[in-house]
Structure 1
Amino acid sequence: MQATSVRPATAPEPGQAPARAQPRITIIGIGNSLMTDDGAGVHVAAALNQMGLDEQVRILDGGTLSFTLLDEVEDSEFLIIADAAELHSQPGTVQLFQDQEMDTYLGSSNRPSVHEVNLMDVLTAARIRGRMPTRHALVGIQPQSIGWGTEPSATVARAVDEAAGIIAQLVAETLAATREEQLRTSIVREAKT
């Protein structure tokens, strides 16, 4: 299974190095889009693509997840995953897990994965190789039903929009913090000269 780019990051001009003014943010929506609510993460990625996020943000349809996504994970400074998740909550509940909280959730989840490999396997491989993203987050959506069909239930469809909004806010906050830090660094550098 090859990851499909919903919207690739802007490539540098030939012969030029890519600009590194912004953190590498990768959003991967995972799930089986042929299995109703299991495809929630893929639908979130599509919704984010429609929002027109910063062009430096890479949005991928990760499908049913496989180790082919390892390079994308390892090349990120901030990795955001959207997926259907067992939250033991009402269908359509959206929950954000960041950094250690995400690791704890994934480590305690003992349900079998319907994906080729589970997310923890991919993150563990990145850690072993010393290339785990500095920041990582999971936006999980409690499914209502998983069966054959290309559209999520109405409850999960509404949750897809909520999840996309949460991710867009995370991206905006991250980019704003980066710009503030760059401004402070520039001011300090100018003050020293």
Structure 2
Amino acid sequence: MAVPTRITVVGVGNEFRRDDGLGPAVITRLKEGRATRPLPPGTVLASSDGDPGRLIGLWEEAGLAVVVDAAHVHPGCPGRVHRLELGEHGVRRPGAASTHGLGLGEAVELSRVLGRLPAHLIVYAVESGDGSLGTGLTKAVAAVVEPLARRIEKDIAEYHAAVPPKRHRR
């Protein structure tokens, strides 16, 4: 069976709910960085409102899917990044965070049941400070956009280096 090579990065959130706009902000930063730090061909960068059906559609058949989302944690530390990995050996969770909505968790479970999980899923949940109406990230959350974009670029490079080159079909 062929190893899936498609890479998808999804920024979940709403740019009109302050820190909830973190996911789309990271996607914007990755798109801006493509000129000087190109991603592997075919890498998909997308924003989503977190609807489970749309998330599954974005990461279906991906070898690597990276999801960035704001997390509402009480008490929280705005700007703290949590990383969760789901790969062939199950979940590796070096920290705990709860995402702001059930959409992401539901999408993962539904994908599992339907057999549509990506081969490797990384979720970055960043603790938010302000989810009120309005635009612009708080200072603490805005400070993680660039380092998080760089970390995602590193995740993509590591995955891309580890995946065997595509074989021509006969």
| Band the TM-score falls in, shorter-chain normalisation | 0.7 to 0.9
Assess, with a 3 A threshold, how the Cα gap between structure 1 residues 119 and 152 changes in structure 2: closer, same or farther: same
Match of 1:35 among 13, 17, 31: 17
Assess, with a 3 A threshold, how the Cα gap between structure 1 residues 21 and 127 changes in structure 2: closer, same or farther: closer
Aligned to 2:32: 50
Question: Does 2:65 match 1:79?
Answer: yes
Match of 1:173 among 145, 155, 158: 158
SS in 2 for 1:82: strand
SS in 1 for 2:31: helix
Who wins on radius of gyration, i.e. which is larger?
A: 1
SS in 1 for 2:92: helix
Greater mean alpha carbon deviation, residues 51-60 or residues 37-46: 51-60
User: Counterparts of 1:60-139 in structure 2 under 5 Å?
Assistant: 60-86=46-72, 89-99=76-86, 100-101=91-92, 105=96, 109=98, 113=101, 118-139=103-124
CA distance in 2, matches of 1:161, 1:112: 22
Question: Could you tell me whether the CA contact under 8 Å between 2:9 and 2:45 is conserved in 1?
Answer: yes
- CA shift, 1:57, in A, is 0.9
Runs of 4+ in 1 over 3 A off after TM superposition: 86-89
CA distance in 1, matches of 2:61, 2:55: 10
Structure that is richer in helix per residue: 1
Assess, with a 3 A threshold, how the Cα gap between structure 1 residues 76 and 168 changes in structure 2: closer, same or farther: same
- CA shift, 1:101, in A, is 2.6
TM-score in terms of structure 1 length: 0.71
Assess, with a 3 A threshold, how the Cα gap between structure 1 residues 126 and 66 changes in structure 2: closer, same or farther: closer
Unaligned runs of at least 5 residues, structure 1: 1-19, 186-193
Assess, with a 3 A threshold, how the Cα gap between structure 1 residues 162 and 48 changes in structure 2: closer, same or farther: same
Aligned to 1:23: 5
Aligned to 1:141: 126
Count residues in correspondence.
156
Higher relative contact order (CA 8 A, sep 6+): 2
Q: Identity of paired residues, percent?
A: 24
Assess, with a 3 A threshold, how the Cα gap between structure 1 residues 33 and 69 changes in structure 2: closer, same or farther: same
Unaligned runs of at least 5 residues, structure 2: none
TM-score in terms of structure 2 length: 0.80
Question: Could you tell me whether the CA contact under 8 Å between 1:36 and 1:145 is conserved in 2?
Answer: yes
- CA shift, 1:146, in A, is 1.5
CA RMSD of aligned residues (A): 2.6
Question: Could you tell me whether the CA contact under 8 Å between 1:36 and 1:152 is conserved in 2?
Answer: yes
